[in-house]
Amino acid sequence: MRNILIVFKGKPAIGKTTLAVELGRILNMPVVDKDKIRSVVNFDASIDKLRDKSYEIMFLFADYMLKQNISVICDSPLRPRKWFEYAKNVAKENNSRILVVDCKCSSIDVWKSRLEDRKKQKVGSHQISSWVDIVNGPLKENWWETSTKNSINIDTANSLDQNVYSIISFLRRVL
């Protein structure tokens, strides 16, 4: 069976990382987190260049794992869209399948609660941790829509177990 590159997509603090880590644990797949990489990518450059370098490193690790026949999960907002195209190329070059897990949260209250939890954790200074920052940033920006047969929309307001089950069921259908 071909390896798979699972890429998470969604706005900040929506629940992507929690879901990616749990899915990785259950499927015994490594998770590469762009935010963890970004927290140590510190050089004198614009925010866009730092973001882009973090994506490059994340997909470099994914490419390395796929070349070793290890399926991998990449956790990031997957924004801008060029990084989805980049991920597709990494999968194609490694004769691997790609699955996009497009995360949204139908409950503003749940989303706000997750942002509050972020404040309590020691997240990177580049990570959004307030609702005001969400409203003034990601909610105003246009986010590309996932429209591929290898994508699944997940409502992270649902339980973690329910979402993991949905993703695994989807994987069984498309693989």
Give the domain CATH number at 86: 3.40.50.300
**Cα–Cα distance, 108 to 58 (Å, whole number):** 29
pTM, full prediction: 0.87
Average pLDDT over residues 66-79: 95
What is the tally of structural domains in the chain? 1
Per-residue confidence (pLDDT) for residue 116, from 0 to 100: 74
Which pLDDT score, from 0 to 100, does residue 36 have? 84
Distance CA 33, CA 54 (A): 9
The confidence score (pLDDT) of residue 37 equals: 86
Averaged pLDDT, 134-162: 78
Give me the domain span that covers residue 133. 4-174
Q: For 54-71, what is the mean pLDDT? A: 96
